[in-house]
Amino acid sequence: MSRPIILTVDDDPQVSAAIGRDLVSQYGGEYRVVQASSGAEALGVLTRLALRDQPVAVIAADQRMPQMTGIELLSQARAHAPGAKLLLVTAYADTDAAIRAINDIGLDYYLLKPWDPPEERLYPVIDDLLGDWRQANRDLTAAVRVVGHRWSDRGHELKMFLASNHVPYRWYDVERDAEAQRLLDLAQAGPADLPVVLLPDGEALRSPSILELAGALGLRTAARQPLYDVCIVGGGPAGLAGAVYAASEGLSTVIVEREAPGGQAGQSAAIENYLGFPKGLSGADLTRRAMAQASRFGAEMVLARDVVGFEARGPVRAVLLDGSGEIEARTLVVATGVSYRRLEAAGLDALSGRGVYYGVNAGEASQCRGEEVYVVGAANSAGQAALNLSRFAKRVVLVVRAATLGDTMSRYLVERVTATPNIAVRYRTEVVSGRGDGHLETLTLADRDSGATEEVPTSWLFVFIGGSPRTEWLGPDVVRDAMGFLVTGHDLMHPASPARWPLARAPFALETSVPGVFAAGDVRLDSMKRVASAVGEGAMAIYLVHRYLATV
C-alpha cells in the first residue's frame, strides 16, 4: 500500500510552506504530505486520490480562505475521503465557528495559529489524529481469521473477545463464505472443530477456550511478581485510571481483567460527556489510550482471567484466579463494575449469543446490515446502541416499558433517537418471549396497557436493562448491600450497617470493611455510574492506597 496522505490546504504561501515543512520533517517517512492552495484545488486533489484508491489520513485546512472557507471545504471533503480526520487551522477569533463545526460537520479538532513550537502544539494533535485513523483503518490482511457458524455462541464469544481486546480479525461464515471451506481445508479442520481460529503465523486453533486464544495471541494471562503494592480487579475506566495513577506514582501494580479492558465504557459507540473531548470519543478509543498510558507507566495487565476468590492473609491481600493461580498484593482495589442484567422472558436464555445479545460490539452492529433489529432498554446505553445499530440496520425498534424516554435517557440522546428516521420507539411495551430453531427468529411483544401481544420476525435482540454487581467472590468479610454493591467509608459506620470495621481509625472514603481493600466505580454503593466518576474514583483509590500503606 502506498503511503497514506496528509493533505494541507492554505492560501497563504508562507503559512503553507511552514506547515508543510513541519509535517514532512515529522511524518514524511510514513505519510506523504500533499499541499493545496485553495478549497477548489483541494477537492480536485481528493477526487484524484479517491480514483486511485489512495487513503487520506488527515486533511488540515485553514479557515480563512477566499471563495471557500476551511469549514466549507472540510464538509465537502467528507464525500471524497470518508475516513479522513478533519483538522481546522484557525485564528482565535474563529474559535466559535470551529466549535460549531464539531457538531455540524464532525470536525475532529481545531488548531489555533501559530502552532510554534510544533513539538508542543502541532505534533501531539497530529499524532492523536493519526493514531485514531490508523486504529480505524488497520490493515486486515495480517489479521486473525475466525471460521464458524453465524449463530454459534462459541463463535460469538471468541469474536467478542477479539473485538474488545482490539485484535483485528476477519469472520468467515461456513454457510455463506466460500473462502471458509478453503481455510478449513488448509487447517485440516472439520465441522466438529468449529469455531476455528487461524493465527497470522498459520497456527490453527480448534474451538479454543478464551484462555487458550489469549495465550496464543501473546496476551499475558499470569502475574509475573510474587507480591505487588496494589492489585486492581477490573479493567474498566475505574480500574484503568487506578492503574495509571498507581504505576505513575511508583507503586508496583497489576490489573486483572476477565473479559477485555474497557468494561462497560468499552461498549459505548460515543461517550459525549467526558471532559476534554468536545466531539466525544468511542469507548474503544478511550480504552486504547488508557491501556497505552497504563503500560507506559509500567502497570502489568493480566487478561482473560476471572477473579473468583479473596483471602486476607495478615498484611497481604490475595485474589484467587479461575482454574488455578493467585495474585498477592499489599492492597486491593475492586473495580469490577456491574454486569448486564438478564432479560427474564421465556425462551431467551437458550438463544443468548445466537441472536440475543447483552451489549453490542462493532462486529455485531455491522452484521445487522439491512435487517430489522430490536433493542430493549430506556437508558443512555440503549439509546447509544440504537443509534449505533441504525447506521447498519434497515430499521431499529427500541422497546421501552415506560411511556417516555425523558426520565431515563439524556436529552441529547432522546433528541437524536427520535430524529433518526430508521429508529422506531415502542413505548409501554415489553418482550415476553423469543423463539427460534438454533437462533432467534421471532419475538413476542406485549402492550403493557392493553395486554395485547404481537409476534414479530427478527434475528437480532440487544438488551440494555441495567446491571448488577457480581461481588460474591469477595466472601463474607467484605460488607455489601442487598444488591451486592460494596459499602465503603462513612457508610460502614452507619448504625444500620453491620458493625464490622475492625480498626480504631475510621475507614478511608473508598475503603471497604476489610482494611486495605478499596472499591472504585460502579461496583461501589451510591456511585454515580458514569465514566468520569469511575475514573475519578480509580484515581482517588490510589491516593487512599498511599495513605493506607503509610499505616502498615
Ligand X SMILES: Cc1cc2nc3c(=O)[nH]c(=O)nc-3n(C[C@H](O)[C@H](O)[C@H](O)COP(=O)(O)OP(=O)(O)OC[C@H]3O[C@@H](n4cnc5c(N)ncnc54)[C@H](O)[C@@H]3O)c2cc1C
Binding site for ligand X (CB under 6 A): 233-239, 256-259, 263-265, 267-268, 271-273, 306-307, 335-338, 380-381, 384, 470, 473, 521-523, 529-532, 534
Q: What is the smallest separation between the CB atom of 344 and ligand X, expressed in angstroms?
A: 19
User: Residue 71 or 531: which CB sits closer to ligand X?
Assistant: 531
Residues 6+ apart with CB under 8 A from 86: 58, 59, 61, 74, 77, 78, 105, 106, 107, 108, 109
How does strand 85-90 pair with strand 56-62? parallel
Q: Which is nearer to ligand X, 145 or 416 (CB)?
A: 416
Least distance to ligand X, CB of residue 283, Å: 7
Q: At its nearest, how many Å lie between ligand X and the CB of residue 481?
A: 16
CB 274 → ligand X: shortest distance, Å?
6
DSSP 8-state code for residue 476? T
Please give the backbone phi and psi of residue 108, each rounded to the nearest 5 degrees, phi first: -85, -30
Q: From the CB of 41, what's the least distance to ligand X, in Å?
A: 39
- Between 155 and 521, name the residue whose CB sits nearer to ligand X: 521
Angle at 268 between CA 263 and CA 272, to 5 degrees: 120
Dihedral, CA of residue 456, residue 462, residue 465 and residue 468, to nearest 10: 140
CB-based burial, 501-533: b 16+ in 10 Å, e otherwise:
beeeeebbbbbbbbbbbbbbbbbbbebebbbeb
Q: Cβ distance 461 to 349 under 8 Å? A: no
Cβ at position 552, least distance to ligand X in Å: 25
Q: Which is nearer to ligand X, 63 or 384 (CB)?
A: 384
Tell me the closest approach of the beta carbon of residue 358 to ligand X, in angstroms: 10
Q: How far is residue 130's CA from residue 290's CA, in Å, rounded to a whole number?
A: 17
Residue 250's contacts (CB-CB under 8 Å, 6 or more residues apart) are none
Strand order in the sheet with 429-435: 429-435, 442-447, 453-457
Distance CA 490, CA 213 (A): 43
CB-based contact 237:538 (threshold 8 Å): yes
Which is nearer to ligand X, 279 or 530 (by Cβ)?
A: 530
* Of 8 and 164, CB closest to ligand X: 164
Question: Smallest distance, Å, CB 155 to ligand X?
Answer: 20
Q: Which is nearer to ligand X, 77 or 307 (CB)?
A: 307
CB of 282 to ligand X, least distance (A): 10
Question: Cβ of residue 247: shortest distance to ligand X, in angstroms?
Answer: 17
The residue with its CB nearest to ligand X is 337
Please state, as a whole number, how many other Cβ atoms lie within 10 Å of the Cβ of residue 112.
14
Query: Among residues 239 and 515, whose Cβ is nearest to ligand X?
Result: 239
Residue 67: alpha-carbon gap to chain centroid: 41
**Beta strand extents in 40-161 (DSSP E only):** 56-62, 85-90, 109-112, 144-148
- By beta-carbon proximity to ligand X, the closer residue of 28 and 325 is 325
Phi, psi of 167 (to 5 degrees): -95, 115
Strand partners, 271: 281
Residue (74 or 382) nearer to ligand X, CB? 382
